[in-house]
């Protein structure tokens, strides 16, 4: 065997081992949520779960309800071993909970941020994100069940979101103040781009309906590359200019990397090779290197693009989700260019004793919060990452023969 | 010299040394803000200051504008060595900035949370706190200058705040939702009680006007002692019952201790010795012991009363202000009962190199954020603590002869 073949064989073995590991981890993570999070009484999911799965709060965060419905359906739809009735039943019960209770004042489309266990609204955020995860859940439920009322909900909500973002944000309830800069948080076009991808998947009519929106989102996200191409900034003006102060200098490396793989999917659909190279350079390599902690490893949560100390108390913590996004993004980039330096696996968050991942580590890597779920951590980033990595690895292995 | 006299002499010496240290520290802290925070162009204060005082953001947070005006006036009024024209001029310029720009839509009384450097509103909080610090600033400006328009502003704003809290919160803009529990955050009666103290100081008419309000506040704060007297909870129902979930179990030891010294001032005014003993036990010793980190020392920022892991990422950090409050409260309690175990001095936050205190340490005591000021840290807790401690020590030393 010559050197090249030897290397290929070694790489194939590595990918095979990873695929098995990732698959086992996915099984264990899904089992954790199946066992601990289902509310048999009211439908929907508990997400405030302690290290061993104990429910420490019954509140239901709408982001996480929508995400878990989406995740269950996606697993059911795309993995043979997850085509299980109990998974689909729980997803449907979550979907019905959202249909009944997510909207604060139906038929108005504004959704709550958090509900009581039995569905009364507790808090409303003046953003689009509850509605976005609602849309993802409904569209995926439709894809799995074929029930058209889910899809009607998804498309109507999507059109409302697009109206808020591109036409008139008044319905979100945020007051217009003379000192507020017209800021674009990168989360908004990112979220919309992922919805364009979600709704358009295997759906020509919606692909075509949202094609221009997808281009708009990609354009807007790309505008967040600033400082002569040396930084991805979380907030820029609507016409793509740097903003003053902490707001303008704010960086979230994990978020930039997540935007990277959203954009990479978009560029693949477009068949735009130049754009793919640009995305890998600016949204993956750049934030991965500048966001990496040279002392203890891991991605910082927040940074200041000019090197000032961030004002967020948690800025140097290592969160699970940026590392999940980095695993997906780097595996996607590896699929593009085959550079094995891009292969990243983060094991520091695992909890072999009770399953699922810890969400919040201190800078040094020690567990800071022992919870497995909370107001912002549910059944989403970890299983999405593992499922996507397993699928990407499978494709790669198939190509390698 | 017999033993008792020896002990008294030793104690007197300790207090004398402390008073000098605290006084020097106060001078250095005031000098830091005088040097770095004044906006000569627009009036008001920069509070986003790096370790060495460098301005890293020009936004003006209304809480901190009001607090700095109050602090400068209070120093001017009660310390001979701070009766300096430059201090008063800066306070007045800050007061004019607030008079011109704090209110979002005059003559409406709702104030912004943060303003641009030149006074345009950027964000509004749906709470009473910007308005409370506005009131403190105006009342103290009146006490120093005798200008009646300051006092008119203070009293009118106070009456508006009381209306929001006790009659109708609609003007704060928070939507009424069916799942939102009628929660009382301890901050509300605490803040009002401190305003009652502020407005009533050397003012018989206002003391009498707000006497019933003071009693109401004290009653409400005392309702936060829960779990058979074993915990001070941050949030309870309006009729003093425990609330479910994380919200109900939330504890903030520094806040309980701060409430303690507010209450102690109230109980002294009332001449209620039994209440004073209760306060020392429940609002000082209890949170001081249960909030103390047995491993690394210092007060935790947040805790869960039932020992669950808090969901706030910063829960185990050591913040400057709880330790400032603890210094004031314990010195006050020592004045009550003479127990030297109560004498606490926290030096860990000092920065002898550049002045002022670091605000945010990690659990282990290492500096987490190098900033000296930010959106929530201004010229307030540190100088208020040092000034009050110097004054209390002076009284104690006078009594010891």
What chain A holds in terms of domains, given with CATH numbers, is 37-170+371-375 (1.50.10.20), 184-350 (1.50.10.10)
Residue B58 has pLDDT above 90, yes or no: yes
Q: Tens digit of pLDDT for each residue in B247-264?
A: 999 999 999 999 999 999
Which one, of B284, B181, B194, B190, lies nearest residue B236 by Cα? B181
Rounded-to-integer distance, Cα B63 and Cα B61, Å: 6
Residue B31 has pLDDT above 80, yes or no: yes
> Would the CB atoms of B309 and A123 count as touching at under 8 Å?
no
Contact B360, B7 (CB under 8 A): no
Q: What angle do CA B208, B212, B214 make, to 5 degrees?
A: 95
Rounded-to-integer distance, Cα B261 and Cα B270, Å: 14
Interface residue A375 vs chain B (CB under 8 A): yes
- CA-based diameter of chain B, in Å? 71
Q: Is B56 helix (H, G, I), strand (E, B) or coil?
A: strand
Find the residue in A nearest to B306 (Cα).
A56
> Would the CB atoms of B122 and A180 count as touching at under 8 Å?
yes
The predicted model gives B142-150 an average pLDDT of 98
Strands A250-251, A225-226: pairing kind: unpaired
Q: Tens digit of pLDDT for each residue in B60-118?
A: 999 999 999 999 999 999 999 999 999 999 999 999 999 999 999 999 999 999 999 99
**Residues of A with CB below 8 A from B116's CB?**
179
Contact B396, B343 (CB under 8 A): no
Q: Tens digit of pLDDT for each residue in A154-191?
A: 999 999 999 999 999 999 998 889 999 889 999 999 99
DSSP class of residue A250?
Answer: E
> What is the pLDDT, as a whole number, of residue A20?
96
> Would the CB atoms of B180 and A123 count as touching at under 8 Å?
yes
pLDDT classification of B280: cutoffs 50, 70, 90:
very high
> What is the pLDDT, as a whole number, of residue A157?
98
Rounded-to-integer distance, Cα A284 and Cα A304, Å: 18
Q: Tens digit of pLDDT for each residue in B165-191?
A: 999 999 999 888 999 988 999 999 999
Percent of chain B with pLDDT over 90: 92
Q: How far is A197 from chain B (nearest CA, A)?
A: 32
Contact B233, B304 (CB under 8 A): no
Question: Could you tell me the two tokens for B207?
Answer: 């003391």
Other residues' Cβ atoms within 10 Å of the Cβ of residue A230: 11
Find the residue in A nearest to B114 (Cα).
A179
Rounded-to-integer distance, Cα B222 and Cα B202, Å: 26
> Would the CB atoms of B56 and A246 count as touching at under 8 Å?
yes
> Would the CB atoms of B369 and A311 count as touching at under 8 Å?
yes
Rounded-to-integer distance, Cα A136 and Cα A154, Å: 7
Q: Which long-range contacts (CB under 8 A, 24 or more apart) does A198-202 make?
A: A198/A135, A198/A136, A198/A139, A198/A140, A199/A135, A199/A139, A199/A154, A199/A155, A199/A158, A201/A143, A202/A143
Window 44-103 of B, Cβ < 8 Å to A: 48, 50-51, 56-59
> What is the pLDDT, as a whole number, of residue A1?
56
Nearest to A246 among B51, B57, B244 (CB): B57
The predicted model gives A3-28 an average pLDDT of 91
Rounded-to-integer distance, Cα B335 and Cα B270, Å: 17
> What is the pLDDT, as a whole number, of residue B222?
98
Which one, of B82, B161, B158, B156, lies nearest residue B127 by Cα? B161
pLDDT classification of B232: cutoffs 50, 70, 90:
very high
> What is the pLDDT, as a whole number, of residue B247?
98
> What is the pLDDT, as a whole number, of residue A43?
94
Average pLDDT of chain B, as a whole number: 96
> Would the CB atoms of A58 and B317 count as touching at under 8 Å?
no
Interface residue B154 vs chain A (CB under 8 A): no
**Residues of A with CB below 8 A from B310's CB?**
369
Q: Tens digit of pLDDT for each residue in A101-123?
A: 999 999 999 999 999 999 999 99
Cβ–Cβ pairs < 8 A, chains A and B: 105
Q: Which long-range contacts (CB under 8 A, 24 or more apart) does B236-240 make?
A: B236/B183, B236/B184, B236/B186, B237/B181, B237/B182, B237/B183, B237/B184, B238/B182, B238/B183, B238/B184
Q: Is A262 helix (H, G, I), strand (E, B) or coil?
A: helix
> What is the pLDDT, as a whole number, of residue A401?
74
pLDDT classification of B342: cutoffs 50, 70, 90:
confident
Which one, of A163, A105, A154, A116, lies nearest residue A133 by Cα? A154
Average pLDDT of chain A, as a whole number: 96
pLDDT classification of A85: cutoffs 50, 70, 90:
very high
Percent of chain A with pLDDT over 70: 100
Q: Is B274 exposed, middle or buried (0-12, 13-18, 19+ CB in 10 A)?
A: exposed
What is the three-state SS of B73-96? HHHHHHCHHHCCHHHHHHHHHHHH
Q: Is B68 helix (H, G, I), strand (E, B) or coil?
A: helix
Q: Is B49 helix (H, G, I), strand (E, B) or coil?
A: strand
> Would the CB atoms of B123 and A180 count as touching at under 8 Å?
yes
Interface residue A365 vs chain B (CB under 8 A): no
Contact B146, B158 (CB under 8 A): no
Interface residue A359 vs chain B (CB under 8 A): no
Contact B198, B171 (CB under 8 A): no
Rounded-to-integer distance, Cα A164 and Cα A160, Å: 6
Q: What are phi and psi of B332, to 5 degrees?
A: -65, -40
Question: Could you tell me the two tokens for A86?
Answer: 């109990």
> What is the pLDDT, as a whole number, of residue B1?
56
Question: Could you tell me the two tokens for A309?
Answer: 């100390």
Other residues' Cβ atoms within 10 Å of the Cβ of residue A352: 8
- What b/e sequence results for A125-137 when a residue is b if at least 16 CB atoms lie within 10 Å of its CB, and e otherwise? bebbbbbbbbbbb
Question: Could you tell me the two tokens for B237?
Answer: 């129902």
Is the torsion defined by CA of A309, A315, A317, A318 positive or negative? negative
Question: Could you tell me the two tokens for B88?
Answer: 């008063």
Residues in chain B: 401
Q: How far is B217 from chain A (nearest CA, A)?
A: 26
The predicted model gives A312-327 an average pLDDT of 98
Contact B112, B131 (CB under 8 A): no
Distances in whole angstroms, Cα of residue B143 to Cα of each of A43, B67, B95, B136, B199? 60, 15, 13, 11, 10
Q: Where are the beta strands (DSSP E) in A150-298?
A: 183-185, 225-226, 231-232, 235-237, 250-251
Write the DSSP assignment of A318-350 as a string of letters. Answer: EEHHHHHHHHHHHHHHHHHH--GGG-----TTB
DSSP class of residue A174?
Answer: P
């Amino acid at each position: 065997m010559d050197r090249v073949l030897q290397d290929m064989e070694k790489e194939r073995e590595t990918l095979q081992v990873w695929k098995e590991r990732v698959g086992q981890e996915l099984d264990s993570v899904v089992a954790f949520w199946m066992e601990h999070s289902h509310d048999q009484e009211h439908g929907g999911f508990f997400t405030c779960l302690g290290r061993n799965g104990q429910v420490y709060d019954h509140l239901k965060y709408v982001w996480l309800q929508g995400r878990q419905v989406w995740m269950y359906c996606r697993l059911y739809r795309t993995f043979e071993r997850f085509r299980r009735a109990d998974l689909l039943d729980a997803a449907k019960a979550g979907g019905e909970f959202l249909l009944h209770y997510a909207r604060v004042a139906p038929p108005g489309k504004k959704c709550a941020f958090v509900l009581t266990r039995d569905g009364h609204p507790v808090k409303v955020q003046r953003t689009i994100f509850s509605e976005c995860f609602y849309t993802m859940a409904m569209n995926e439920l439709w894809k799995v069940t074929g029930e058209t009322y889910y899809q009607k909900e998804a498309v109507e909500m999507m059109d409302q979101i697009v109206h808020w973002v591109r036409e008139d944000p008044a319905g979100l309830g945020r007051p217009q103040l003379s000192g507020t800069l017209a800021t674009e948080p990168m989360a908004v076009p990112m979220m919309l781009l992922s919805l364009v991808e979600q709704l358009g998947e295997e759906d020509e009519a919606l692909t075509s309906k949202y094609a221009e929106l997808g281009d708009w989102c990609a354009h807007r996200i790309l505008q967040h590359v600033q400082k002569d191409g040396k930084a991805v900034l979380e907030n820029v003006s609507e016409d793509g200019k740097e903003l003053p102060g902490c707001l303008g200098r704010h960086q979230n490396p994990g978020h930039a990397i997540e935007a990277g793989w959203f954009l990479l999917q978009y560029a693949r659909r477009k068949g735009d090779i130049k754009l793919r190279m640009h995305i890998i350079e600016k949204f993956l390599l750049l934030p991965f290197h500048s966001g990496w902690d040279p002392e203890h490893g891991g991605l910082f949560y927040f940074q200041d693009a000019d090197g000032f100390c961030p004002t967020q108390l948690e800025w140097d913590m290592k969160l699970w989700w940026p590392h999940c996004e980095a695993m997906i993004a780097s595996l996607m980039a590896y699929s593009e260019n085959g550079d094995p330096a891009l292969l990243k696996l983060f094991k520091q968050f695992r909890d072999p004793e009770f399953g699922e991942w810890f969400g919040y580590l201190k800078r040094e890597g020690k567990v800071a919060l022992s919870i497995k779920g909370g107001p912002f951590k549910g059944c989403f980033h970890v299983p999405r990452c593992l499922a996507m990595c397993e699928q990407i690895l499978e494709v790669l292995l198939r190509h390698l023969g």
